[in-house]
Protein backbone atom coordinates (compact mmCIF):
# COMPACT_ATOMS: atom_id res chain seq x y z
CA UNK A 1 0.00 0.00 0.00
CA UNK A 2 2.69 2.49 1.03
CA UNK A 3 4.83 1.60 -1.97
CA UNK A 4 1.97 2.30 -4.40
CA UNK A 5 1.52 5.78 -2.91
CA UNK A 6 5.23 6.60 -3.07
CA UNK A 7 5.49 5.29 -6.64
CA UNK A 8 2.53 7.45 -7.66
CA UNK A 9 4.11 10.55 -6.12
CA UNK A 10 7.39 9.79 -7.89
CA UNK A 11 5.65 9.16 -11.22
CA UNK A 12 3.83 12.52 -10.93
CA UNK A 13 7.10 14.26 -9.94
CA UNK A 14 5.55 15.45 -6.69
CA UNK A 15 7.98 16.39 -3.94
CA UNK A 16 7.36 14.76 -0.57
CA UNK A 17 9.07 13.44 2.51
CA UNK A 18 8.15 10.15 4.12
CA UNK A 19 8.68 9.57 7.83
CA UNK A 20 8.37 6.06 9.28
CA UNK A 21 7.10 5.69 12.85
CA UNK A 22 5.25 3.25 15.13
CA UNK A 23 1.63 2.55 14.20
CA UNK A 24 -0.71 5.42 15.10
CA UNK A 25 -4.47 4.88 15.00
CA UNK A 26 -5.71 8.19 16.42
CA UNK A 27 -4.78 11.87 16.36
CA UNK A 28 -3.71 11.53 20.00
CA UNK A 29 -1.29 8.72 19.11
CA UNK A 30 0.13 10.79 16.23
CA UNK A 31 0.68 13.75 18.58
CA UNK A 32 2.51 11.51 21.05
CA UNK A 33 5.03 10.51 18.36
CA UNK A 34 6.52 14.03 18.18
CA UNK A 35 7.15 13.82 14.43
CA UNK A 36 9.63 16.12 12.70
CA UNK A 37 6.90 18.55 11.64
CA UNK A 38 4.46 20.42 13.90
CA UNK A 39 1.34 18.50 14.94
CA UNK A 40 -0.74 21.29 13.38
CA UNK A 41 0.38 19.99 9.99
CA UNK A 42 -1.29 16.60 10.45
CA UNK A 43 -4.59 16.19 8.59
CA UNK A 44 -7.65 14.60 10.17
CA UNK A 45 -9.36 12.29 7.69
CA UNK A 46 -13.03 11.35 8.07
CA UNK A 47 -14.59 8.68 5.87
CA UNK A 48 -18.34 9.27 5.90
CA UNK A 49 -21.48 8.04 4.20
CA UNK A 50 -24.87 9.60 3.65
CA UNK A 51 -28.10 8.30 5.16
CA UNK A 52 -28.86 5.95 2.26
CA UNK A 53 -25.29 4.67 1.96
CA UNK A 54 -25.14 5.64 -1.70
CA UNK A 55 -22.70 8.54 -1.36
CA UNK A 56 -19.32 8.34 0.34
CA UNK A 57 -17.14 11.24 1.42
CA UNK A 58 -13.56 11.70 2.50
CA UNK A 59 -13.21 14.91 4.50
CA UNK A 60 -9.84 16.44 5.41
CA UNK A 61 -9.47 19.01 8.16
CA UNK A 62 -6.70 20.19 10.43
CA UNK A 63 -6.02 17.50 13.01
CA UNK A 64 -6.98 19.66 15.97
CA UNK A 65 -10.16 21.05 14.41
CA UNK A 66 -13.54 19.73 15.58
CA UNK A 67 -15.91 18.73 12.77
CA UNK A 68 -19.65 19.14 13.28
CA UNK A 69 -21.38 16.53 11.09
CA UNK A 70 -24.72 18.41 11.06
CA UNK A 71 -23.08 21.56 9.70
CA UNK A 72 -20.93 19.53 7.32
CA UNK A 73 -24.04 17.77 5.99
CA UNK A 74 -25.55 21.11 5.02
CA UNK A 75 -22.29 22.38 3.53
CA UNK A 76 -21.85 19.39 1.20
CA UNK A 77 -25.55 18.97 0.41
CA UNK A 78 -26.02 15.54 1.88
CA UNK A 79 -28.60 13.73 3.91
CA UNK A 80 -27.68 12.61 7.44
CA UNK A 81 -23.97 11.78 7.75
CA UNK A 82 -22.39 8.98 9.72
CA UNK A 83 -19.02 7.30 9.83
CA UNK A 84 -18.76 4.56 7.23
CA UNK A 85 -18.27 1.00 8.41
CA UNK A 86 -14.97 -0.82 8.23
CA UNK A 87 -16.45 -2.90 5.39
CA UNK A 88 -17.22 0.22 3.36
CA UNK A 89 -13.77 1.59 4.14
CA UNK A 90 -12.18 -1.56 2.78
CA UNK A 91 -14.51 -1.68 -0.24
CA UNK A 92 -13.89 1.90 -1.37
CA UNK A 93 -10.42 2.86 -0.12
CA UNK A 94 -8.94 -0.57 0.64
CA UNK A 95 -7.55 0.57 3.98
CA UNK A 96 -8.31 -0.38 7.55
CA UNK A 97 -9.59 1.77 10.39
CA UNK A 98 -6.72 3.91 11.65
CA UNK A 99 -5.17 4.19 8.18
CA UNK A 100 -7.76 6.46 6.54
CA UNK A 101 -5.97 8.83 4.22
CA UNK A 102 -6.62 10.90 1.12
CA UNK A 103 -4.11 8.56 -0.53
CA UNK A 104 -6.76 5.85 -0.20
CA UNK A 105 -8.37 7.52 -3.20
CA UNK A 106 -5.74 5.75 -5.30
CA UNK A 107 -7.64 2.54 -4.49
CA UNK A 108 -11.09 3.96 -5.38
CA UNK A 109 -11.52 1.99 -8.61
CA UNK A 110 -15.05 3.29 -9.26
CA UNK A 111 -14.30 6.94 -8.39
CA UNK A 112 -17.20 6.75 -5.95
CA UNK A 113 -15.70 8.80 -3.12
CA UNK A 114 -16.16 12.57 -3.06
CA UNK A 115 -13.26 14.44 -1.47
CA UNK A 116 -13.77 17.61 0.57
CA UNK A 117 -10.86 19.57 2.00
CA UNK A 118 -11.18 22.28 4.62
CA UNK A 119 -10.52 25.56 2.84
CA UNK A 120 -8.14 26.54 5.67
CA UNK A 121 -5.74 23.85 4.40
CA UNK A 122 -5.75 25.07 0.79
CA UNK A 123 -2.58 27.15 0.99
CA UNK A 124 -0.73 24.74 3.27
CA UNK A 125 2.76 23.93 2.07
CA UNK A 126 3.02 20.90 4.36
CA UNK A 127 0.29 18.44 5.30
CA UNK A 128 0.97 15.10 6.94
CA UNK A 129 -1.10 12.13 5.72
CA UNK A 130 -0.69 8.37 5.97
CA UNK A 131 0.46 6.64 2.77
CA UNK A 132 -2.37 4.09 3.32
CA UNK A 133 -0.28 2.66 6.15
CA UNK A 134 -0.42 4.09 9.65
CA UNK A 135 3.27 3.36 10.30
CA UNK A 136 4.39 6.29 8.17
CA UNK A 137 3.50 9.89 7.39
CA UNK A 138 3.96 11.55 4.02
CA UNK A 139 4.58 15.31 4.11
CA UNK A 140 3.15 16.99 1.01
CA UNK A 141 1.67 20.36 0.03
CA UNK A 142 -2.10 20.65 -0.22
CA UNK A 143 -1.81 21.68 -3.88
CA UNK A 144 0.17 18.53 -4.65
CA UNK A 145 -2.27 16.38 -2.68
CA UNK A 146 -5.09 17.86 -4.75
CA UNK A 147 -3.13 17.04 -7.90
CA UNK A 148 -2.82 13.37 -6.85
CA UNK A 149 -6.56 13.11 -6.17
CA UNK A 150 -7.61 14.82 -9.40
CA UNK A 151 -5.09 12.84 -11.44
CA UNK A 152 -6.73 9.67 -10.17
CA UNK A 153 -10.11 11.04 -11.31
CA UNK A 154 -11.88 11.87 -8.06
CA UNK A 155 -13.44 15.26 -7.40
CA UNK A 156 -11.98 17.67 -4.85
CA UNK A 157 -13.95 20.52 -3.34
CA UNK A 158 -12.72 23.05 -0.78
CA UNK A 159 -15.28 23.85 1.89
CA UNK A 160 -15.46 25.62 5.24
CA UNK A 161 -15.31 23.00 8.00
127 has a pLDDT exceeding 80? yes
**Strand, helix or coil for residue 24:** coil
Alpha carbons 158 and 91: distance in angstroms, whole number: 25
38 has a pLDDT exceeding 90? no
How many structural domains comprise the chain? 1
pLDDT digits (tens, 9 = 90+) for 11-36: 999 999 999 999 998 888 888 888 87
Q: Given this model, what pLDDT does residue 78 score?
A: 95
Instruction: Give the range of the structural domain holding residue 134, as residue numbers without chain letter.
Output: 2-159
**Strand, helix or coil for residue 132:** coil
Alpha carbons 47 and 85: distance in angstroms, whole number: 9
pLDDT digits (tens, 9 = 90+) for 130-157: 999 999 999 999 999 999 999 999 999 9
DSSP character string of 96-111: -TT---GGGGGG-TT-
Whichever domain contains 11, its CATH number is 3.90.960.10
Amino acid sequence: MKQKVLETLDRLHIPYECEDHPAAYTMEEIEALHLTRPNESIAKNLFLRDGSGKRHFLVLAAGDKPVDLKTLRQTIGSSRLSFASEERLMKHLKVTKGSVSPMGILNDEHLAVEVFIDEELKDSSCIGVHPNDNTATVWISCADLEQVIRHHGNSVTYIPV
